[in-house]
Homo-oligomer: A and B are copies of this chain.
Amino acid sequence: MSQVNVGLCGLGTVGTGVVKLLKDHADEIKYKVGSEINIKKILVHNLEKERDVAIEREWLTSEPSELVDHPEIDIIIEVMGGIEDTNLLLERAIQNKKHIVTANKDLMAVHGQKLLRLAKENDCDIFYDASVAGGIPIIRSLTDGLASDRIQKIMGIVNGTTNYILTKMTDEELAYEPVLKEAQALGFAEADPTSDVDGLDAARKMTLLANLSFKMEIDLDDVEVTGIRNISQEDITFATSLGYTIKLIGIASIHHGKAEVSVEPTLLPKDHPLALVKNEYNAVYVHGEAVGETMFYGPGAGSMPTATAVVSDLMEAVKNSRLGISGTGYVTPQFEKQLKEDNEKYMQYFIRMEVDDAAGTFQKITNVFTDEDISFAKILQLPSDREKTAEIVMVTHKISKEQLETSRKNLKKLDVVNRIISYYRVDGED
> What is the interface of chain A, defined by CB distance below 8 A to chain B?
17, 21, 25, 28-29, 31-32, 129, 135-137, 140-141, 144-150, 215, 271, 273, 276, 281, 288, 290-299, 302, 304-305, 307-312, 314-316, 319, 323, 325, 328, 331, 334
Is the CB–CB distance between A298 and B294 below 8 Å?
yes
Closest to A272 in B: B276
Q: How many copies does the complex hold?
A: 2
Question: What are 15 sample pairs from A and B whose C-beta atoms fall under 8 A apart?
Answer: A25-B149, A25-B150, A25-B290, A31-B334, A129-B145, A135-B291, A146-B308, A148-B315, A271-B276, A273-B297, A281-B293, A291-B309, A292-B304, A294-B296, A294-B297
Is the CB–CB distance between B299 and A292 below 8 Å?
yes
Closest to A326 in B: B323
Is the CB–CB distance between B312 and A323 below 8 Å?
no
Inter-chain CA distance A280–B310, complex, in Å, is 34
Say how far A141's CB is from chain B's closest CB, in angstroms.
Answer: 5
Of the candidates B150, B294, B312, B331, the one whose C-beta lies within 8 Å of that of A299 is: B294
Given contacts A136-B145, A148-B311, A288-B308, 8 further A-B contacts (CB under 8 A): A28-B334, A135-B292, A136-B294, A137-B141, A137-B145, A147-B312, A291-B304, A296-B296
Inter-chain CA distance A288–B325, complex, in Å, is 29
Inter-chain CA distance A147–B21, complex, in Å, is 11
Inter-chain CA distance A297–B294, complex, in Å, is 5
Is the CB–CB distance between A135 and B294 below 8 Å?
yes
